[in-house]
Amino acid sequence: MIFRNPAGAPELACDQCGCRWFDRMTNTCYECSAAVTPEMEAEFKQALAEFTAQRNEKGKPA
Ligand SMILES: [Zn+2]
């Protein structure tokens, strides 16, 4: 699942337990060891790209 932090930036969270801590070496959840699926990663990258695009749009000088 994808969480939004207070700044609106997406954060990848575990589908199983909802925590946001992952072991980047093995791509598994710290809490329950659920694997990060390619689908989850793709979803997160998409959300991140959208967030970045929106922020760049807002950041443009008028
Ligand atoms: Zn988990």
- Within-domain flag for 22: yes
- Structural contact between residues 51 and 11, judged by C-beta atoms closer than 8 angstroms: no
For position 61, what pLDDT does the model report?
Answer: 73
- Within-domain flag for 8: yes
| Separation between Cα atoms, residue 11 and residue 43, nearest integer Å | 11
For position 37, what pLDDT does the model report?
Answer: 93
- Within-domain flag for 25: yes
Q: Which domain holds residue 21?
A: 1-35
Q: How far is the CA of 54 from the centre of ligand 1 (A)?
A: 29
DSSP 1-48: -EEE-TTS-EEE--TTT----EETTTTEETTT-PBPPHHHHHHHHHHH
Q: How far is the CA of 21 from the centre of ligand 1 (A)?
A: 8
- Within-domain flag for 16: yes
- Structural contact between residues 41 and 28, judged by C-beta atoms closer than 8 angstroms: no
- Within-domain flag for 28: yes
- Within-domain flag for 59: no
The pLDDT tens digits along the chain (62 residues) read 999 999 999 999 999 999 999 998 999 999 999 999 999 999 999 999 999 999 898 877 76
Q: How far is the CA of 43 from the centre of ligand 1 (A)?
A: 17
Question: For the chain, what is the domain count?
Answer: 1
Q: Which of 46, 47, 18 is nearest to 34 (CA)?
A: 18
Q: Model pTM greater than 0.95?
A: no
- Within-domain flag for 62: no
